[in-house]
Amino acid sequence: MWKAISKAIPEGLLAALLLGAASAASAQEFGRFGLALKSGEGAGPMGIQLAWNFSPHLQACIGGGGTAELLVWEDRSRTDSYFVMGKYYLKHLYFESGYSLKVTKAENVLGEEARTARRAEHGIPVYLGYEFGNRRGFYFSTAAGFLYVVGGGGRTVTPQIGTSEGIAATSAQSGPSFGMSVGYYLW
């Protein structure tokens, strides 16, 4: 029977069908695109991550976050975080590293006048994490690592109007970092 099928279908077409079936089966092992809510791990206190899985072992992710405006009403300062990272998976355990940008903003309001001071810090995050889930559908992950801020960070950011200084904020600095994510892998 196999000989009859192989004679009826041209050789190149048969090879393409078999290759397509094999790649479709491997595509079902994990979701290619992921979306997650994050805390820490490059995103700050509250953030979002978009991920693309190249294979079951390699993932690229991009995202950002910060502090909600309602939480910074009193001291008028915040740090926003942005990141681009790559992950290497060993089943559920993963290693993650990349680039992180932390932008600290502080604001001073005096009457009708407002002044904002900013400081950007560039960092290299390195994490070891564990992802609960089967790389399809919903997942939860947790990670611990270190954020190395180039130049050390920890600089004071103080907006000033005339002689009136606002409340000072401190820019991001090198140190241990932790994170959690809840997300969903699509197709």
Report how far apart, in Å, the C-alpha atoms of 171 and of each of 53, 71, 88, 105, 187 are.
33, 18, 30, 8, 39
Q: What is the pLDDT of residue 141?
A: 97
Find the range with the poorest average confidence among 46-50, 72-76, 147-151, 168-172.
72-76
| Domain locations in the chain as residue ranges | 31-186
Residue 28 pLDDT grade (very low, low, confident, very high; cuts 50, 70, 90): low
User: d(Cα 62, Cα 77) in Å, to the nearest integer?
Assistant: 24
Judge: domain 31-186, CATH 3.30.70.
no
pLDDT over 70 at 23, yes or no? no
pLDDT over 60 at 71, yes or no? no
Question: Residue 111: which residues within 8 A CB-CB, separation 6 or more?
Answer: none
The DSSP output letter for 29 is T
pLDDT over 70 at 1, yes or no? no
Cα dihedral 68, 177, 61, 129 sign: negative
Query: Residue written as tokens 């590293």?
Result: 97
Report how far apart, in Å, the C-alpha atoms of 136 and of each of 27, 33, 168, 183 are.
11, 10, 45, 10
Q: What does the pLDDT look like over 95-127, one tens digit per residue?
A: 999 999 999 988 877 777 778 889 999 999 999
Residue 68 pLDDT grade (very low, low, confident, very high; cuts 50, 70, 90): low
